[in-house]
A = this chain, B = another copy of it.
C-alpha cells in the first residue's frame, strides 16, 4: 500500500453522493438481474453474457481468450464457466485449428434455445429497472460516462489490454 497520508484527495460532497448512489444502485441492479436469470433460466448474469456473446459470433464460435475479453472475464473464470455450460450441454469446446494452444467455444443448438427463452425476461428486467426510468439524454450520458471509464481501463493496473476490444463491440 502506498503511504500517502496528508496528500490524499478525498471525494468532494458531490462525488461522494455520486459514488454512494452508483454503488448502491449498481449493486442492487446486478442482484436483481442475477435473481431473475437464476430463477427463470438457471444461470447467473455472467453466464447469460457468455451465451449472448457466442450467439452473435460467426458460427456461434469464439476463441476462449477472445470470449474472456468480450465478457470482461479472467481466463480462469471463463474456463470454469464454460466447463459448467458444457456440462449443461449449452456450449461445446473444440481445438483451435490455427493454434494448438487455443480452444474454441461454440454455442450448441440447445444453448441457443435456452438463450432465446431467457432473453425476453432478461431484457424486461433491464428495462424495468434501468431504461424505462431514464430519459434519452440520460441514456446518452450513461454511454459517455462508461465509454470514458473504459478508455481509461486499457493499459493500467494489470487489466489485459485486450479488454479494449470491448469498445469496438459497444460502438458497433
Q: Which of B1, B22, B29 contacts A121 (CB 8 A)?
A: B1
Contacts A1-B117, A27-B72 supplied; 16 other A-B pairs, CB < 8 Å: A1-B118, A1-B121, A4-B124, A10-B123, A17-B171, A21-B147, A24-B72, A24-B150, A28-B153, A31-B72, A32-B153, A32-B157, A35-B158, A36-B157, A128-B156, A134-B145
Chain A 120-161 residues near chain B, CB threshold 8 A: 120-121, 123-124, 126-131, 133-134, 136, 138-153, 156-159
Indicate whether A14 reaches chain B with its CB closer than 8 angstroms: yes
Q: Is the CB of A120 within 8 A of B31?
A: no
- Most B CB contacts (10 A, CB to CB) among A5, A21, A31, A35 go to A21
- Most B CB contacts (10 A, CB to CB) among A8, A17, A24, A121 go to A24
Indicate whether A65 reaches chain B with its CB closer than 8 angstroms: no
Q: Which of B21, B128, B163 contacts A142 (CB 8 A)?
A: B21
For the complex, give the distance between the alpha carbons of A45 and B22 in Å. 14
Of chain B, the residue at the smallest CB distance from A32 is: B157
* Chain A contacts to B: CB under 8 angstroms: 1-2, 4-5, 8-11, 14-15, 17-29, 31-32, 35-36, 40-41, 49, 72, 117-121, 123-124, 126-131, 133-134, 136, 138-153, 156-159, 163, 166, 169-171
Inter-chain contacts of A10 with B (CB < 8 A): 123
- Most B CB contacts (10 A, CB to CB) among A129, A150, A169 go to A150
For the complex, give the distance between the alpha carbons of A121 and B143 in Å. 27
